[in-house]
Structure 1
Amino acid sequence: MRITKAEVVVTSPDRNFTTLKLTTEDGITGLGDATLNGRELAVVSYLRDHVVPMLIDRDAARIEDTWQLLYRGAYWRRGPVTMAAIAAVDIALWDIKAKAAGMPLYQLLGGASREGLMAYGHASGKDLPELFDSIREHQEQGYRSIRVQTGVPGLKSIYGIASNARLDGDQGVRYDHEPAQRGALPAQEDWDTRSYLRHVPTVFEAVRNEFGPELPLLHDAHHRMTPIQAAQLGKSLEPYDLFWLEDCTPAENPEALRLVRQHTTTPLAIGEVFNSLWDYQQIIREQLIDYVRSAVTHTGGISHLRKLVEYAAQYQIRSGFHGPTDISPVGMAAQMHLGLAIHNFGIQEYMQHGARTNAVFQQSFTFEDGLLHPGDQPGIGVDLDVDEAGKYPYEQAYLPYNRLADGTVHDW
């Protein structure tokens, strides 16, 4: 089952996506997601110029050997560009193997461990009335778990607020919140940590009073606090019983999370910007987190992410795979199959793609009564309409960045 063709497809229906399509001598195709938000073309070049020549005439069945070749054979290891490229190849090879076997991928990974995957959506608002409306809207869509992001008095534009997203013709806000903006330069947002720390606990108090104690609530701090500030936030949110507090402080320094752990029992989710098991090794071993946040797209594919969550399972740490709209339907489907199969699944982030994206990527997965399921189509269950993809060429887009009131660049 030799690979005879490898194509890198770049399309921008609702945002930019990078997709690898492999074809074997038997005519079986496999898709892989290589989207790196705001740096898509870096991965395109890595794939086209360096990886694709190595794939032609390789045995598509040798998934682990191919993974090791691309990882160890490059000498320069890890990092988001390399691991996204490897992920695309790995996902595509698993797609091919499952199609050749005539079964959905999760069956090859050991079969289903649950009926479906609990998903959470992104509710947000500049103020409490807008936030409450957003929570109710997500509940009506079927979400049983809700991430809560809020405006902060005195700050004009910050991460996570859907009503700050730009409009797109008559479509309104493209998604609940897609921060990447098309244009020649990144947008600037503002930040004040002390104002945020004062305000956020009052928001969660109001949400609990309005929606009760049973609704699982999540919050993303997006790397913006020092360790002691993160500890303060975690402690102040304890009365509101969060499902998790995400990315409370930059996690490259494990000692930072030790300090946070000393001061709060709020569960911690970390890792959407990590790219490998080795990034997590110490914080998992020392049990400094409760959920791993990596996406299959950015963490070397199904093969590597599976090893990561199996390692985490030894310490009762569960999955919380990254799933905003910068993970394409290909990447989302791949991690749904993995999430359905593993024992230590926790929750799946799920932002719904727009109609144009769904026309480019036809999908078999479903979202019903708060649960995702990848479907039972052979492979990962996603087909790429290349002609439809060709209608939407790449457009320059950047994620925003933050500045403090005095002009200092701050973590976004």
Structure 2
Amino acid sequence: MRIERAEVLVTSPGRNFVTLRITTTDGVVGLGDATLNGRELAVVSYLRDHLVPLLVGREANDIEDTWQYLYRGAYWRRGPVTMSAIAAVDMALWDIKGKVAGLPVYQLLGGRSRRGGLAYGHASGSTLEALFTSVRNHLDEGFRAIRIQTGVPGLKKIYGVGGDQARGQKYDYEPAGRTAVPVEEDWDTRFYLQHIPGVFEAVRAEFGAGLPLLHDAHHRLTPNQAAQLGRSLEPYDLFWLEDCTPAENQEALRRVRAMTTTPLAIGEVLNSVHDYQTLITEQLIDYVRSSVTHGGGITAMRKLMDFAAIYGIRSGFHGPTDISPVGMAAALHLSIALHNFGIVEYMPHNAQTLEVFRTGYTFTDGLLDPGEAPGLGVEVDDELAATFPYTPAYLPVNRLLDGTVHDW
């Protein structure tokens, strides 16, 4: 069973998605997610111009060999564009293998390790009152773990804080603005560090000690500032503090780890096991945050998580709406099979996206399940996808109050 053709689909039902579709000589179709927020067309070109010509005629069953061929066979390795493209090929081949076997992909990975994967939702608000409303809305939807983000006095707009919700309204936040250039937001670390501990004190007082709470610092702190935040949040028993400092400098986490017991989640922008080597071997983190879409696919992320398991580190796969339903399904199949699963991020896609991508995964009582359909369990409606053409969109740029460009 060989690869007969490979097509790259681009659609934008509310946001941009890149999908690779591989068809075999036996007519079996597999889908892979190659979406890279704000740089989608770079991956499109990488796939169309460089990988698709290499795929036609290859044996579709040989997933491991194909992964190594695309990774080791190129002089230029790693990076988000390369790894997202390889991930799409990998997912599509796992999808095909599952369909040929008549089994969901998680069964091919060893079967279930749990009945469902605990998911966390995103609650935010410009004020405490608005934040509390968002938390209640998420609890009503069935979430049993919630990320807390809030406005900061003195700052106009902060990434991760959507528009304030009315009671009963669903959270539907799209940070990628459909503009010719990125929107610029402001930032002041001192204001933030002074404000956030009081937010968690108020949330704990309102919702009790039992609700798992998470927080994302979006790489904006120095190691000392990250350690200060971690220590100040210790009384509120966070499930994790995410991306507290830029992760490229793996050694910086030694400083943070030495000064706080707050669990740390790192890796949303990392895409290779090499990016994690120090973080894992020195046990500087508690959760791996990469996505299956940006981390080289199911094959690569399974190996990364097996490596992490040796050191007691668990998964916390990146899963917002800039991962397509195909990528989300791939993450769920892996999450169900992993022994060292921790939690999975879940932002439900909008109605238009779920009409383009028909999914088989479910969310019940706070748990996500990949479903029992053969393969990944996601199909795409070509005709409907074509009615949503690509539109340039960018995540915001961050500046200090004096105008200096700052880290995410």
TM score, norm. by length of structure 1: 0.97
Matched, 1:147 2:141: no
Partner of 1:186: 182
Pairing of 1:353-372 with structure 2 (within 5 A): 353-372=349-368
* 1:409 aligned counterpart, secondary structure: coil
Matched, 1:262 2:262: no
* 1:251 aligned counterpart, secondary structure: coil
Letter in 2 for 1:336: L
Q: In structure 2, how many angstroms separate the alpha carbons of the residues matched to 1:266 and 1:360?
A: 40
Partner of 1:49: 49
Pairing of 1:128-147 with structure 2 (within 5 A): 128-147=128-147
Q: In structure 2, how many angstroms separate the alpha carbons of the residues matched to 1:59 and 1:355?
A: 36
Partner of 1:168: none
Pairing of 1:237-316 with structure 2 (within 5 A): 237-316=233-312
Partner of 1:170: none
Pairing of 1:10-89 with structure 2 (within 5 A): 10-89=10-89
Shift of 1:272: 0.6
The gaps in structure 2 that reach 5 residues or longer are none
Pairing of 1:344-383 with structure 2 (within 5 A): 344-383=340-379
Shift of 1:366: 0.3
TM score, norm. by length of structure 2: 0.98
**Identical pairs, percent:** 71
1:15-35: CA deviation from partner (whole Å, max 9, x where unpaired): 000000000011100000000
1:320-368: CA deviation from partner (whole Å, max 9, x where unpaired): 0000000000000001000000100000000000010000000000000
Shift of 1:162: 1.1
Shift of 1:14: 1.1
Partner of 2:395: 399
Partner of 1:169: none
Shift of 1:164: 7.5
1:69-124: CA deviation from partner (whole Å, max 9, x where unpaired): 10011110000000000000000000000100000000000000000000000000
Shift of 1:176: 3.0
* 2:130 aligned counterpart, secondary structure: helix
Partner of 2:201: 205
Shift of 1:266: 0.1
Shift of 1:255: 2.2
Aligned length: 405
Q: In structure 1, how many angstroms separate the alpha carbons of the residues matched to 2:320 and 2:400?
A: 26
Any conservation in 2 of the 1:122–1:176 contact (CA below 8 Å)? no
Decide whether aligned partners of structure 1 residues 78 and 306 sit closer, same or farther in structure 2, where only a CA change above 3 A counts.
same
* 1:189 aligned counterpart, secondary structure: strand
Matched, 1:334 2:335: no
Shift of 1:175: 5.2
Letter in 1 for 2:93: L
Partner of 1:220: 216
* 2:271 aligned counterpart, secondary structure: coil
The gaps in structure 1 that reach 5 residues or longer are 166-172
Q: In structure 2, how many angstroms separate the alpha carbons of the residues matched to 1:4 and 1:294?
A: 31
1:155-199: CA deviation from partner (whole Å, max 9, x where unpaired): 00011111189xxxxxxx995322101111000000000000000
Shift of 1:253: 1.4
* 1:298 aligned counterpart, secondary structure: coil
